[in-house]
Amino acid sequence: MGIKKSRKGYTQVYTGNGKGKTTAAIGLAIRAAGAGLKVFIAQFIKMGDYSEIKALKRFSDLITVEQFGLGRFANRIPAPADIKAARKGLERVKSVLATDEYNIVIMEEANVAVKLGLFGVQDLLKIIINKPHDKELVITGRGASPRVIEIADLVTEMKPIKHYFQKGVPARVGIEK
């Protein structure tokens, strides 16, 4: 337990327009669970039983997923209810980080939440800055703020070389959702 608790944790960001941000975060959660680490996933924006959520339920002793979104935004303007849900998620992340219950906290689509104005970039920066030494924080979503990129320890940009979405292939169950 000692090593797991005192080991330094880093802030990782998966951003860019290519496929792989959410799957990378889920992959990390699975790997971590394999090592006996505990993972909290706060999913912003999204709502609903995505396949990854159903799958992760099998690891409920190690991985917890909570949703703080009311659904995908397709050019929709954020409503007060969207903002309220996202802020609730922020508070939950803060309290999870403040306890020793989880080793890794994943803020799914948090970059998008900032871009949509559901909460401010300052709110996200504060979470990164105040992150306890031993926690790993993972932030996903397109369009990461330059300031988030600057203070993160690891940033991966998923760069689309090709994507079948451009050919009209919508998100498929089990592959994209």
Least distance CB 105 / ligand ATP (angstroms): 17
CA–centroid distance for 31 within its chain? 16
Look up residue 74 and give its two tokens.
């397709």
- CB closer to Mg ion out of 21 and 135: 21
Least distance CB 122 / ligand ATP (angstroms): 23
Given ligand ATP, Mg ion, none, residue 23, with its beta carbon under 5 to 8 Å by kind, binds: ligand ATP
For residue 159, which phi and psi values (nearest 5 degrees)?
-105, 120
158 binds ligand ATP (CB under 6 A): yes
21 binds Mg ion (CB under 5 A): yes
- CB closer to Mg ion out of 132 and 160: 160
Buried b (16+ CB within 10 A) or exposed e, 83-111: eebbeebbeebeebbeeeebbbbbbbbbb
Given Mg ion, ligand ATP, none, residue 36, with its beta carbon under 5 to 8 Å by kind, binds: none
Yes or no: say if 52 and 58 are a contact pair by the CB < 8 Å rule.
no
Residues within the interface to ligand ATP (CB under 6 A): 17, 19-23, 142, 158, 160, 163, 165, 171, 176
